[in-house]
Amino acid sequence: MVEFIQQVDYSMPRQCGIFPPPPIEYKNVRALGIILQCDLNAKKKFLPPELEPIKNGIDGVSILEYPTTSIGSYNEMLITLNCKYKGKPGDYVCNIYVDDDIALTAGREIYGFPKKMCEIKLSPIIENKIRGTLTRKGITFLDLEVQVADPPKGMDPKTILENMPLYNLKLIPDIADSSKPALRQITETNIKYGNFYKTLGVKVNYLKSEYSRFDICHEILKDANKNIGGFYLEYDFTLPHGRVLE
């Protein structure tokens, strides 16, 4: 983590903000990405009306380990739903979890990432297997294991990632009127990818989701096709400023 210059009136608290402005640098990331095809009705339910679900699109569950970033080390998990905004394909960040308050606050307040705090574990590769779990409020609501393999022929994860912007719905409640938000924005963020050090394919041994009244992951994943495969990656990237679509 690098020291950053405090900017008065950039974010709360105004005299000692919890996070710096973008860009945010990430080095030596470990990422496990599982390709899904979620039920179309589930996608319609959880996508904002401005976004159109893509039938049989590439949805995903990803667990990431960030050992070195400009805001400190932390772990993250997200569920993305493949969709379109005015005809342009992208991934809507439906659920996202972190285990650090700086990452939580910056993600929500800058970009609109719908982050929650969670205990996240991603194992090293042991006997060609990787396991990941998510636990929130005492409930392990996601548990997955994969077998690493050669990358699938004809699929380049870097190309896929570089051509898939992230869409978010940024909401700020109104202090005086709970019937409508004070701010509602559809945002777009295009991650800038750097070096890729390792690319492996994976075979899903299992992906289990459990019901939790604190989360909607199980409802999204229960009817999804979970046996398509995925990737294990090690790489660098930069999270730049995003933009407001509407």
Q: Domain ranges for the chain, please list them.
A: 28-236
pLDDT digits (tens, 9 = 90+) for 233-245: 999 999 999 999 9
| pLDDT (mean) for 100-107 | 97
The fraction of the chain above a pLDDT of 90, given in percent, is 85
The CATH number of the domain covering residues in 28-236: 2.40.400.10
The fraction of the chain above a pLDDT of 70, given in percent, is 98
Per-residue pLDDT at 14 exceeds 90: no
Per-residue pLDDT at 3 exceeds 70: no
Backbone angles phi, psi at 106, to 5 degrees: -65, -45
Question: Can you give the pLDDT at residue 108?
Answer: 97
Per-residue pLDDT at 110 exceeds 90: yes
Residue 1 — pLDDT band, cuts 50, 70, 90? low
The pTM (predicted TM-score) of the whole model is 0.94
Question: Can you give the pLDDT at residue 117?
Answer: 97
Q: Which residue has the higher pLDDT, 202 or 152?
A: 202
Tokens standing for 111?
């970009």
Question: Can you give the pLDDT at residue 152?
Answer: 75
Question: Can you give the pLDDT at residue 105?
Answer: 97
* Nearest of 20, 19, 60, 15 to residue 37 by alpha carbon: 60
Per-residue pLDDT at 6 exceeds 70: no
Residue 24 — pLDDT band, cuts 50, 70, 90? very high
Per-residue pLDDT at 2 exceeds 80: no
pLDDT digits (tens, 9 = 90+) for 35-91: 999 999 999 999 999 999 998 899 999 999 999 999 999 999 999 999 999 999 999
| pLDDT (mean) for 182-211 | 96
* Per-position b or e across 73-88, b if 16+ CB within 10 A of its CB: ebbbbbbbbbbbbeee
What is the pairing mode between strands 129-136 and 243-244? Answer: unpaired
Residue 5 — pLDDT band, cuts 50, 70, 90? low
CA distance 33 to 10: 34
Question: Can you give the pLDDT at residue 4?
Answer: 60
Average pLDDT in the chain: 94
Q: Which residue has the higher pLDDT, 159 or 152?
A: 159
Per-residue pLDDT at 222 exceeds 90: yes
Q: How far is CA 218 from CA 17, 61, 77, 93, 141, in A?
A: 35, 12, 14, 16, 7
